[in-house]
Amino acid sequence: MTFLADLQQHLFLQTAAAACLLAAIASGVVGSLVVVRRTTYTAAAVSHCVLAGLGLARLLQRRFDIAWFTPMLGAVATAVAVALILAGLSERGGQRRDAVLSVLWSVGMALGITFLALTPGYQEDLGGYLLGSILLVGRGDLALMALLDAVVLGVVLLFYNRLLCVAFNEELARLRGLRVRFYETVIHLLTALTVVLLVQVAGIVLAVALLTLPAATAGLLTRRLDRMMALAVALAAVVSLGGLALSYVPELPPGATIVELAAGLYVAVLGANRLLRRRWRR
Amino acid sequence: MSAGDTTGAAVAFHGVCFAYGASEVLHNVTFTVPPRALVAVVGPNGGGKTTLLRLILGLEQPRFGTVRVFGEPPAAARLHMGYVPQVLACDTRFPVDVRDVVLMGTLDRRWSGAFGRRERRAAAAALERVDLVGFERRPFADLSGGERQRVLIAQALAGDPDLLLLDEPTANVDPPTADRLHELFRQLAGSLTVLFVSHNLGVVTASASHVLCVSRTAGLHPIADIADNTFQAAYGGGRMALLRHDTSCQVVDASGVLVSPHQGCACDAAGAEKTP
């Protein structure tokens, strides 16, 4: 109850709750696409690369006084760049895709660590970026998050039938004359932007868990992609708000609590599903 | 049938060779499928049947020779084709229902937009043709292998194709359903061209208008030309359905016998080696 009382009083808590809800929208929609296409590893690589953008922004702001280059902008720029690299990669066969993902993943982290090390007095940022700092989300970040949500929803609504076909059977999409490369790039960009949102909530290390767990849970409960998306949004909202509330009084890291709650929900639904199905068969 | 005259042909191969890397799958293939034919594609496993369908679709490019579909390069004619692959290239647990899978068959190059009344009507009609009325809202993941196969046939029909390519369309379905599907293909051949891969020689002789024997090379034969003596010589007289294993052995034999007089190329050697 302390949480609810403080939520009414403190602006930072209201902002954090709003950030949770805004992140849940993109996370549920794009997370469902990522889960059914089995590309969670791509999302993880983007997430870790984002550190390079965050670090570069800090360095430019603090050492070279380029104030307009905010960490959020750095994160978005890096994520978009990585998404475009990955989209180009899948076009060229991509037999070594996992190796390239690992390289991007670790080089992105390495650059981020170096940039932060060169930034005077901001070493402590590293922990915040890695583990998330939802309680430090600012009002300006909320506006950007809402904008990203609008982009994600607009694109998915506009292209839903085509995205569904590309995700279901790429060869069929190609035979029907769909611009498969375009739609794949769109999916990569949406994934990248969503990961940036989730890094705000859960941090670089845990963002992918928040992207995939609600979607995977929803996938157990429904057999249509559109319903899976809607349900995943709801589940992501519930676990992020729930995690925020649960972590508040014991002063636990909110990102970690959110992910633990999401994982607990997934395991519970998986277990219930198995039990029900076994009973059905008998 | 002369190789040069391909005007009005549904599918025309001319001197087509195809190889995956160094291993040649098809060699010097020339044939012309007339419109509204019902063509049974037969031949041993690994003989190049699926590759031939993929060449027609433009999913593979010939190393030599030309492929034309309705007089156009395959990629240009794709929207006039419906294709049902043998092994489903998609995740069978994908969260999508039957109607949405069938509707995908009506997609085209347009950028966006919802499905309109025309697409929905085409999808409903296609489901009716494969006896799956009432399955619209069933999850694709919950269907049996045979039902999935029929959904994919409906998907191919929903695009209103002029050429239907089916790679072993009845491999996973029970015999009564297989009979109904073959009856459907016969009906469809009245208005469009159908190529279906089959190992079931009973079906081939009973329904096809042409037989395309594929074993590294290929030859197209009107069913009348291979009636009785040739076919019975090749298959030991029986017209009953043969088991797949036997069929694949025997069809090698058949293609050797049937193709060599027309093509006069080295293909029969390949067949002869495998003949027991």
Q: Does residue A50 contact residue A267 with C-beta atoms inside 8 Å? A: no
Does B101 or A7 have the greater pLDDT score?
Answer: B101
**Most confident range, picked from A69-78, A261-270, B47-56, B167-176:** A261-270
CA distances from A144 to A55, A129, A200, B60 (A): 19, 17, 11, 45
Q: Number of residue pairs across A and B with CB atoms under 8 Å?
A: 86
Separation of alpha carbons B108 and A172, rounded Å: 11
Amino acid at B276: P
When CB atoms are compared, the residue of A172, A222, A227 closest to B104 is A172
**In this complex, which of B95, B100, B101 lies closest to A228 when CB atoms are compared?**
B95
CA B44, CA B216: separation in Å to the nearest integer?
10
Residue A122 to chain B, least CA–CA distance (Å):
45
Closest approach of chain B CAs to the CA of A243, in angstroms?
28
pLDDT at B234: 44
How confident is the model at residue B98, as a pLDDT? 93
Rounded to a whole number of angstroms, the distance from the CA of A143 to the nearest CA of chain B is: 28
Higher per-residue confidence, B260 vs B10: B10
For residue B105, the chain A residue with the least C-alpha distance is A176
| pTM metric for this prediction | 0.84
Residues 50-79 of B with CB under 8 A from A: 57, 59, 78-79
Q: CA–CA separation, A146 vs B103, rounded Å?
A: 33
Q: What mean pLDDT, rounded, does chain B reach?
A: 77
pLDDT tens for each residue of B231-250: 444 444 433 333 233 333 33
- pLDDT, chain A, mean: 87
d(CA A188, CA A223): 23
Per the model's pLDDT, the better-predicted residue between B259 and A165 turns out to be A165
The per-residue pLDDT for range A150-185, each reduced to its tens digit, is 999 999 999 999 999 999 988 899 899 888 889 999
Cβ contacts of A165 on chain B, cutoff 8 Å: 104, 107
Sequence letter at residue A14: Q
- Which of A158, A178, A225 is nearest residue B107 as measured by Cβ atoms? A178
Q: Tell me the two tokens of residue A196.
A: 């940036």
- Give me the residue label for tokens 């009432």: B134
B58: nearest CA partner in chain A = A175
**Mean pLDDT value of segment A200-226:** 90
Residue of B nearest to A38 (CA): B91
In sign, the C-alpha dihedral spanning B127, B128, B129, B135 is positive
> What are the CA-CA distances from residue A77 to residues A51, A141, A168, A200 (Å)?
11, 15, 29, 15
As a whole number, mean pLDDT of residues B20-41 equals: 89
Minimum distance, in Å, between the CA of residue B25 and any CA atom of chain A: 21
> Looking at the predicted structure, is the pLDDT value of residue B228 above 80?
no
Tens of pLDDT, residues A80-98: 999 998 888 766 655 677 7
Measure B161 CA to nearest chain A CA, in Å: 11
pLDDT at A153: 94
Check residue B205 and give its pLDDT: 77
Instruction: Give the distance from residue B107's alpha carbon to the nearest chain A alpha carbon, in angstroms.
Output: 6
pLDDT at B182 over 60: yes
Which residues 147-176 in chain B show a CB within 8 A of chain A? 155, 159
If you measure CA to CA, which chain A residue comes closest to B99? A224
* Residue in B171, B251, B248 with CA at minimum distance from that of residue B213: B251
Q: What is the C-alpha to C-alpha distance for residues B105 and B124, in angstroms, rounded to an integer?
A: 12
Residue of B88, B101, B100, B183 whose CA lies nearest to B145: B88
Cβ distance of A178 and B109 shorter than 8 Å: yes
Is the pLDDT higher at B19 or at B109? Answer: B19
Q: Please report, as a single letter, which amino acid is at residue B191.
A: S
What is the per-residue pLDDT for A146? 92
In angstroms, the CA A241 to CA B244 distance is: 59
At B195, the amino acid letter reads: L
Helices (H), A119-138: 125-131
The whole-number pLDDT of residue B248 equals 34
Q: Please give the backbone phi and psi of residue B220, each rounded to the nearest 5 degrees, phi first.
A: -105, 135
* Structure confidence at residue A33 as a pLDDT band (50, 70, 90): very high
Q: What is the mean pLDDT of the segment spanning B52-61?
A: 92
Helix (H, G, I), strand (E, B) or coil at B215: strand
The torsion defined by the Cα of A95, A40, A219 and B152, in degrees rounded to 10, comes to: -20
Share of chain A above pLDDT 90, in %: 43
Query: Which residue from A169, A170, A225 is facing B95, i.e. has the nearest CB?
Result: A225
**Residues B147 and B134 sit within 8 Å (Cβ to Cβ):** no
- Structure tokens of A220? 């157990």
**Pick from A36, A175, A228: which is nearest to B78 by CB?**
A175
Average pLDDT on A194-211 reads: 87
Nearest CA in chain B to A218: B95
Half-sphere exposure of A32 (CA within 13 A, CB side): 34
pLDDT of B232: 46
Mean pLDDT of A39-66: 88
Q: Which residues of A38-71 are buried (b: 16+ CB within 10 A; e: fewer)?
A: ebbebbbbbbbbbbbbbbbbbbbbbeeeeeebbb
Q: Name which residue leads in pLDDT, B7 or A76.
A: A76
Q: Would you call B112 and A162 a contact, using CB atoms and an 8 Å cutoff? A: yes
